[in-house]
């Protein structure tokens, strides 16, 4: 027996089918619950500020609330140890940096996590440079003048850094290698006391992140002689790079989102795509620039390659140093 459908019924079923497909498509483009962005440091730092800039723009793109959760402790490692225990059902990412994901596993016998096994890189979102600065007591305005002074007086090669075992510490060793001098690294309890001693005259030379020193440079309290990027920072066009100053060295730091290895791959890829879209927003780029942070637009594959190259550059320096906390 032939079954005959009216045009009206076919039209109604077609509309229902399209609505159903649209619903599945919308679900595929969104998460199944709120997303948490974990920061392993207290509120107010550059990592925290970057996470919050992204969170407010990411939520509309994935259709769920996005919150930033600060979990400070152990120099950022506490957040990493907690993230590695996340289940497949949890929507959580960590905004990590090289101190946690590269340096700590090299210098700490048991960091409590394995960067390669426990995490999946999602998307790099920013980079930052290191700066070589001097106090006004030295009366130097060019990096090569400082180089000449250190060659003549190698005992003056004392580099203040925000903390021993930090990225500026190991970058200071890179600078020493480039200059053929053996620097003495003097660690401080953070960037604030370091900058205070530098501007006050009790510390002649400092190495720290560009964003930590630049405000003092603008105020005329210190002089940044060189910046570690491959090109000059957009917010500091008058500060030359190390290569422009005659030293064959460049290096940077970064902030990158990591997912726990338990997160399903389709969800990882969705978040990587949406975060990349957020990073293309001119408004976000302008806001990051105002914080002295360089925004980065990157795919998951590009981020993985960046991490591989980064480890190849930094691991030999860290191992040669023999540093142990």
Burial classification of residue 125, based on how many CB atoms lie within 10 Å of its CB (0-12 exposed, 13-18 middle, 19 or more buried): buried
Q: What is the pLDDT of residue 291?
A: 85
Does the pLDDT at position 14 exceed 60? no
Picking from 225, 217, 222, the residue whose alpha carbon sits closest to that of residue 135 is 222
pLDDT digits (tens, 9 = 90+) for 222-256: 999 999 999 998 889 999 999 999 888 999 999 99
Does the pLDDT at position 282 exceed 90? yes
Computed over every residue of the chain, the mean pLDDT equals 89
Mean pLDDT of 131-156: 89
Residue 309 contacts by C-beta under 8 Å, 6 or more apart in sequence? none
Q: What is the pLDDT of residue 15?
A: 43
- The answer to whether position 115 is within a domain reads yes
Domain containing residue 115 = 27-127+253-321
Q: What is the pLDDT of residue 29?
A: 54
Mean pLDDT of 266-291: 94
pLDDT digits (tens, 9 = 90+) for 173-222: 999 998 889 999 999 989 999 999 999 999 999 999 999 999 999 999 99
Does the pLDDT at position 70 exceed 50? yes
pTM of the predicted model as reported, rounded to 2 decimal places: 0.85
Check whether residue 117 and residue 150 sit in a common domain: no
Q: What is the pLDDT of residue 4?
A: 46
The domain that holds 86 is classified in CATH as: 3.40.190.150
| N-to-C CA span, the chain | 84
Mean pLDDT of 144-160: 91
Check whether residue 113 and residue 166 sit in a common domain: no
Check whether residue 150 and residue 296 sit in a common domain: no
Q: What is the pLDDT of residue 12?
A: 45
Mapping DSSP onto H, E and C, the string for 225-252 reads EEECCCCCCCCCCCCCECCCCCCCCCCC
- The answer to whether position 303 is within a domain reads yes
Does the pLDDT at position 88 exceed 90? yes
Which band of pLDDT confidence, cut at 50, 70 and 90, is reported for residue 23?
very low
Q: What is the pLDDT of residue 30?
A: 67
Q: What is the pLDDT of residue 160?
A: 97
Check whether residue 137 and residue 206 sit in a common domain: yes
- The answer to whether position 14 is within a domain reads no
pLDDT digits (tens, 9 = 90+) for 29-51: 568 899 999 999 999 888 999 99
Q: State residue 302 phi and psi, 5-degree precision.
A: -65, -35
**Final residue belonging to a domain, choices 163, 192, 227:** 227
224: β partners: 133
Q: Report yes or no: 198 and 224 within 8 Å, Cβ to Cβ.
A: no
Q: Report yes or no: 131 and 226 within 8 Å, Cβ to Cβ.
A: yes
Q: What is the pLDDT of residue 46?
A: 86
Does the pLDDT at position 24 exceed 70? no
- Residue 201 falls in which region: left (phi positive, over 0), alpha (psi -120 to 50) or beta: left
Check whether residue 68 and residue 94 sit in a common domain: yes
> CA-CA distance, 111 to 187, in Å (whole number)?
21
Alpha carbon dihedral 174, 48, 266, 274, in 10-degree steps, equals -100
Check whether residue 92 and residue 140 sit in a common domain: no
Q: What is the pLDDT of residue 27?
A: 39
Between 70 and 12, the higher pLDDT residue: 70
Which band of pLDDT confidence, cut at 50, 70 and 90, is reported for residue 139?
confident
Check whether residue 179 and residue 115 sit in a common domain: no
pLDDT digits (tens, 9 = 90+) for 189-201: 899 999 999 999 9
Check whether residue 117 and residue 59 sit in a common domain: yes
The domain that holds 173 is classified in CATH as: 3.40.190.10
């Amino acid at each position: 027996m032939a079954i005959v459908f009216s045009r009206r019924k076919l039209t109604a079923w077609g509309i229902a089918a399209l609505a159903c497909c649209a619903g599945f498509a919308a679900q595929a483009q969104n998460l199944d619950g709120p997303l948490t962005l974990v920061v392993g440091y207290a509120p107010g730092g550059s990592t925290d500020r970057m996470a919050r800039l992204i969170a407010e723009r990411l939520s509309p793109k994935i259709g769920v609330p996005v919150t930033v959760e600060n979990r400070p402790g152990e120099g950022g490692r506490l957040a990493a140890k907690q993230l590695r225990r996340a289940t497949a059902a949890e929507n959580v990412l960590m905004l990590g940096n090289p101190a946690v994901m590269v340096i700590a596993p090299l210098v700490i016998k048991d960091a409590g996590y394995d960067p390669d096994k426990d995490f999946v890189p999602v998307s790099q979102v920013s980079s930052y440079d290191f700066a070589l600065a001097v106090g006004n007591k030295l009366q130097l305005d060019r990096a090569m003048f400082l180089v000449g002074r250190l060659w003549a007086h190698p005992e003056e090669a004392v580099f203040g850094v925000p903390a021993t075992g930090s990225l500026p510490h190991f970058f200071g060793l890179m600078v020493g290698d480039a200059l053929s001098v053996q620097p003495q690294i003097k660690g401080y309890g953070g960037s604030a006391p370091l900058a205070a001693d530098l501007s006050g005259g009790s510390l002649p030379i400092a190495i720290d992140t560009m964003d930590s020193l630049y405000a003092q440079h603008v105020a005329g309290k210190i002089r940044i002689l060189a910046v570690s990027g491959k090109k000059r920072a957009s917010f500091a066009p008058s500060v030359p790079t190390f290569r422009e100053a005659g030293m064959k060295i460049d290096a940077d730091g970064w902030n990158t989102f990591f997912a726990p290895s338990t997160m399903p791959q389709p969800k990882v890829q969705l978040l990587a795509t949406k975060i990349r879209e957020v990073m293309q927003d001119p408004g976000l780029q302008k806001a990051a620039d105002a914080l002295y942070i360089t925004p980065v637009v990157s795919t998951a594959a590009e981020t993985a390659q960046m991490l591989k190259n980064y480890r190849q550059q930094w691991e030999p320096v860290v191992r040669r140093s023999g540093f142990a906390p």
